[in-house]
């Protein structure tokens, strides 16, 4: 429960960043748990945050980075939204290195259906999950 509280607090901070931007758009996504917990269960995407940049927050980023990260790429059309972002290589609480992971979130705006793909660095398999997103 504690990681959720941290994520909620960080989401509130992220929302505050966007409050100053008149054209900001926020999406909150919930994904089914994946095998091995390779994909985040909650992702918050803020388009137009912090001077027009797109910022992303999920539980892993909150735990290992401590603040939202800037999206690597964004494709925003009238019907879909695709956001790619990175979790850098970090050490966990046991001192083990966790390889960097590239995440891609794809959202169908008309019905909120979404999917997330996690692509770890190195010799690891992609992990995928499906879920729903809502525009806030």
User: In tens digits, what is the pLDDT along the chain, a chain of 136 residues?
Assistant: 455 455 555 555 555 544 444 468 999 999 998 776 778 999 999 998 667 899 999 998 998 889 999 999 999 999 999 999 999 887 767 887 878 899 999 999 999 999 999 998 877 788 999 999 999 9
Residue 20: phi and psi, rounded to 5, are -85, -15
Q: Please give the tally of structural domains in the chain.
A: 1
Q: What is the pTM of this model?
A: 0.79
Residues 37, 25, 54, 8: what is their CA dihedral angle, to the nearest 10 degrees? Answer: -40
Domain with 109, as residue range(s), is 2-135
Distance of alpha carbon 115 from the chain centroid: 11
Hey, how many other C-beta atoms are within 10 angstroms of the C-beta on 135?
A: 13
Tell me if residue 104 falls in helix, strand or coil: strand
Strand 127-135 to 113-120 pairing = antiparallel
């Amino acid at each position: 429960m504690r990681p959720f509280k941290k994520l909620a607090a960080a989401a509130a901070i992220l929302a505050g960043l966007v409050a100053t931007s008149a054209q900001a758009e926020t999406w909150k996504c919930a994904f089914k748990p994946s095998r091995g917990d390779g994909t985040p269960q909650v992702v918050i995407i803020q388009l137009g945050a912090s001077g027009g940049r797109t910022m992303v927050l999920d539980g892993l980023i909150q735990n290992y980075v401590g603040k939202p990260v800037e999206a690597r790429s964004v494709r925003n059309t009238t019907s879909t939204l695709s956001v790619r972002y990175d979790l850098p290589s970090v050490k966990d609480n046991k001192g083990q290195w966790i390889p960097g992971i590239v995440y891609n979130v794809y959202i169908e705006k008309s019905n909120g259906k979404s999917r997330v793909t996690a692509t770890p660095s190195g010799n690891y398999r992609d992990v995928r999950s499906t879920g729903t997103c809502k525009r806030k």
